[in-house]
Amino acid sequence: MDQANTVNFNTTSRETQLLDRINEIYKKQRFYFATGSTKSLAFRKAQLKILRDAILQNEQIITEALHKDYSKSPFEAYTTEIGPVLSEIRLVLANLEKWAKPKRVATPFPFFPSSSKIYRDPLGITLIISPWNYPFMLLMQPLISAIAGGNTMVVKPSEISAHTAAVMATILKNNFVESYIAVIEGDGFEVGKALIENHHFDHIFFTGSVNVGKKVMEMASKHLSPVTLELGGKSPCIIDKDASIDFAAKKVAWSKWLNVGQTCVAPDYVLVHESVKNKFIQKLSENITKMYGDNPALSKDYGRIISDARFNALEKMLHQGDIVIGGQTDAASRYIAPTVITNVGNNDLIMQEEIFGPILPIISYYTNREVLERIAAHPNPLALYIYTESNDVSDYFIKNVQFGGGCVNNGIVHLANSNLPFGGVGNSGVGQYHGIYGFETFTRQKAILKTPSWFDMPIIYPPYKNNVKWIKKILR
């Protein structure tokens, strides 16, 4: 792989080489941004089209890389990775001029005949650090927003999804100069620390775990670099007694075991009304069989855990509570069957950590108040899912639970609507993106009040004399 745009550090002087390379890229990008080349809308749109065309040309290679990383099916590769990225580009290209147009706002009468507008300025040099679970989409979507904003970009893909990272690095290297978009590969902690601790980035966009997100924010504070943190948490799914159980079980099965549960907004645990618990579990089992067959290990539509470390962490969770569906594993292929567990307590490991895998605890409840207490036992969730035929019930939970976003009678698809802001709250994240919200994240508002010289209000100047009574009348 050409060293011009990507960096791998495997020598004994790796740290020195890494710092030198980062310094070189940083200086190049700072100089390039200062030329103003990235700021015109024509330039931004042209770069988005280049990216779109490169993705289309390499679609098969991207699909193959995703399969190598964790046996992702071609259908899931397109619907959860490639398709959303292409859709995001289309949306941005169609709306960029409207989003970037200066916005006129009201001007107080004392400043007559002035006018006021808000301009959106590019931020400068931005850093995007992406995760392994949706490695293509979760790097490319913030990159699209950063391009639309008129910035330069340093991107760090996850080394855990190594095949997809290599393909993305090649695509970006072959189509963009590193003074505009540069890719730095390598160990996430080592590279991330070297980048953030040694330079002021005008924005840092990080997607990953809560613990690493806290470290990113701490390091960024040294240079007052603003951050967007897309994190996670334990996202609950509520099954009301009035829910359509057949429908709910199908949606939960699909949204939980998509990408083998390795989704930041996957249902992490289910709170089901006691009166429909047994029926829901039965229907969940039926839908797992419909989707993945009697033995999901043989299904071409069911992937694998990304790494041995993640497999081992998930396997420990299988020893808590009672397994009522699944539970089969194969360490050699990193396979864990779609698994449902009951009789778990709040102090069990499975209820203390985000699962991020194909294991689903089910907890029964009797009252809506009990649901709120269960959810409040964990930090603010990234997502909330409510299955009910009652608007009163859905409104109750929407109003009384603080969460990032979610669905009523559906799962995870709010993430795919770029007209909705996506992001967490509290422990589950800082900031939002997608569509116009991503454009706003990667730009800043610049306030301008413009005054013509043909009129000036004399009472604002000294000597004030009796001007106080007049200015009070005007301001009131």
**pLDDT reported for residue 4:** 42
- Above 90 in pLDDT, residue 6? no
Phi, psi of 444 (to 5 degrees): -130, 150
Q: Which residues contact 330 (CB under 8 A, 6 or more apart)?
A: 297
Burial class (CB in 10 A: 0-12, 13-18, 19+), 418: buried
Percent of the chain with pLDDT over 90: 88
**pLDDT reported for residue 471:** 77
**pLDDT reported for residue 236:** 98
For residue 449, the SS3 value is strand
216-269 confidence digits (pLDDT tens) = 999 999 999 999 999 999 999 999 999 999 999 999 999 999 999 999 999 999
Per mean pLDDT, which range of 114-118, 196-200, 284-288, 464-468 is the poorest?
Answer: 464-468
Query: What DSSP line would sit under 239-304, residue for residue?
Result: E-TTS-HHHHHHHHHHHHHGGGG--TTS--EEEEEGGGHHHHHHHHHHHHHHHH-S-GGG-TT---
Mean pLDDT rounded to a whole number for the chain: 94
More confident residue, 410 or 471: 410
The terminus-to-terminus CA distance of the chain in angstroms comes to 68
Alpha-carbon distance of 268 to 15, in angstroms, equals 38
**pLDDT reported for residue 12:** 53
**pLDDT reported for residue 57:** 98
**pLDDT reported for residue 110:** 81
Residues 192, 156 contacting (CB under 8 angstroms):
yes
- Above 70 in pLDDT, residue 5? no
Catalytic residues: 230, 264
**pLDDT reported for residue 118:** 97
The whole model's pTM is what?
Answer: 0.93
Residues 198, 436 contacting (CB under 8 angstroms):
no
For residue 344, the SS3 value is coil
Residues 299, 293 contacting (CB under 8 angstroms):
yes
- Above 70 in pLDDT, residue 10? no
Alpha-carbon distance of 24 to 33, in angstroms, equals 14
Q: pLDDT band at 9, cuts 50/70/90?
A: very low
61-78 confidence digits (pLDDT tens) = 999 999 999 999 999 999
Query: What DSSP line would sit under 23-74, residue for residue?
Result: HHHHHHHHHHHHTTTT-SHHHHHHHHHHHHHHHHHTHHHHHHHHHHHH---H
Complete domains list, the chain, with CATH: 14-231+430-446 (3.40.605.10), 236-423 (3.40.309.10)
- Above 80 in pLDDT, residue 388? yes
Residues 99, 436 contacting (CB under 8 angstroms):
yes
Give the pair of three-digit tokens for residue 423: 């992001």
Residue that is written with structure tokens 């991207």 in the block: 62
Per mean pLDDT, which range of 1-5, 332-336, 419-423 is the poorest?
Answer: 1-5
**pLDDT reported for residue 1:** 37
Residues 322, 343 contacting (CB under 8 angstroms):
yes
Q: Which residues contact 225 (CB under 8 A, 6 or more apart)?
A: 196, 200, 201, 202, 203, 204
Q: pLDDT band at 40, cuts 50/70/90?
A: very high
**pLDDT reported for residue 457:** 78
Phi, psi of 181 (to 5 degrees): -130, 120
